[in-house]
Amino acid sequence: MNPEAVLPATMPRWRLRLIALVESTGFRRLVIALIVLSAVFLGLETVRALPPFWLDALHAANRLILAFFVLEIVLRILAQRGAFFRDGWSLFDLAIVLVAVIPPPGPMQMLRALRIVRAGRLLSAVPTLRRVVDGLLHALPGLGAIIVLLTLILYGAAVMATHLYRDISPGHFGDLGRSLLTLFQVMTLENWPDIAAPLMAVDPWAWVYFVGFILVSTFIVLNLFIGVVVSAIQSKIAIDLGAELDADSRRDAALARDVAALREEIVRLRQSLRDRGNGPDAPAA
């Protein structure tokens, strides 16, 4: 984030220094390194064979890292103020830190496992990951239509399979719920021949149903799903890169104007000095 775009030009010097700190490359790299380190430490805490001394050390290290994350959020709020709360990624970081800081009540101790969501801050800390997530969000309108289409296909095929094969394979197609789960497994191509083989032993034409369902659901709709996601990500990346190039072009144009104005000022200053030197009060050669 460019602080000049969200903060006024006149501000206290301490805020300028704070903005320079939180926006610096070194500070961001430190945050990314601590996020990765925190995820590694949380994973090591699950090792039961780890000696108590090392477990205590991991707990202490995690508390120190969490304290740094809290300090980082406070510094960013002080530097960006209202702009912090208008940025979705900043609110995402704040929510993750709050989940880790606020102790869950007694019946909700299972929420302590959510500490691993701290690793999700990599999504906001790494620009490439941030662009991918933005692309996925950009694809949601198109994905919604495809999900509805896939749901209709899956539901219709499940109703059909329940009527056709409930007596042959009640474990897979005994009711609508089992048929939906079985067809979802077939759609992912997970052991679908093992499901179809017992049916084909009784109904030799059962392969027509399964091949048709796989062609429509897997090879057409799911590939369409993937295509929309890839297209949206590419479009979002292209838009972001275009915006960055436009910003660079505007900065270059502004710099060129400043240089031209400076040159004109130097020329006028030289001319003024030359005129003074050639004036009536100029010393004789």
Query: Can you give the pLDDT at residue 16?
Result: 85
Structure-block tokens of residue 240 = 């972001």
Query: Can you give the pLDDT at residue 122?
Result: 72
Query: Hey, how many other C-beta atoms are within 10 angstroms of the C-beta on 61?
Result: 15
Asked if residue 131 is part of any domain, the answer here is no
121 in the same domain as 195: no
Distance from C-alpha of 93 to C-alpha of 88, rounded to nearest angstrom: 9
Q: Is the pTM of this model over 0.75?
A: no
78 in the same domain as 160: no
148 in the same domain as 243: yes
- The CA-CA-CA angle for residues 180, 185, 187, to 5°, reads 90
Quote the number of domains for the chain: 2
88 in the same domain as 42: yes
100 in the same domain as 28: yes
Asked if residue 31 is part of any domain, the answer here is yes
| CATH at residue 238 | 1.10.287.70
101 in the same domain as 7: yes
State how far Cα 238 lies from the chain centre. 16
146 in the same domain as 243: yes
182 in the same domain as 242: yes
| CATH at residue 93 | 1.20.120.350
Query: Can you give the pLDDT at residue 103?
Result: 62
Asked if residue 132 is part of any domain, the answer here is no
Run means of pLDDT, 10 residues per run, the chain, 285 residues: 48 84 87 86 80 85 88 90 85 82 58 61 73 77 83 92 90 91 90 89 90 90 83 75 70 79 83 71 51
Domain boundary among 98, 125, 152: 125
144 in the same domain as 34: no
Query: Can you give the pLDDT at residue 92?
Result: 82
97 in the same domain as 13: yes
Asked if residue 34 is part of any domain, the answer here is yes
Asked if residue 282 is part of any domain, the answer here is no
Asked if residue 134 is part of any domain, the answer here is no
Domain boundary among 60, 91, 125: 125
Asked if residue 284 is part of any domain, the answer here is no
* CB contact at 8 A, 154 and 147: no
145 in the same domain as 121: no
189 dihedral zone (left: phi>0; alpha: psi -120 to 50; beta): left
Asked if residue 283 is part of any domain, the answer here is no
Query: Can you give the pLDDT at residue 32?
Result: 85
Structure-block tokens of residue 61 = 């290290």
Question: 218 is in which domain, residue-wise?
Answer: 140-252
181 in the same domain as 115: no
* CB contact at 8 A, 122 and 40: no
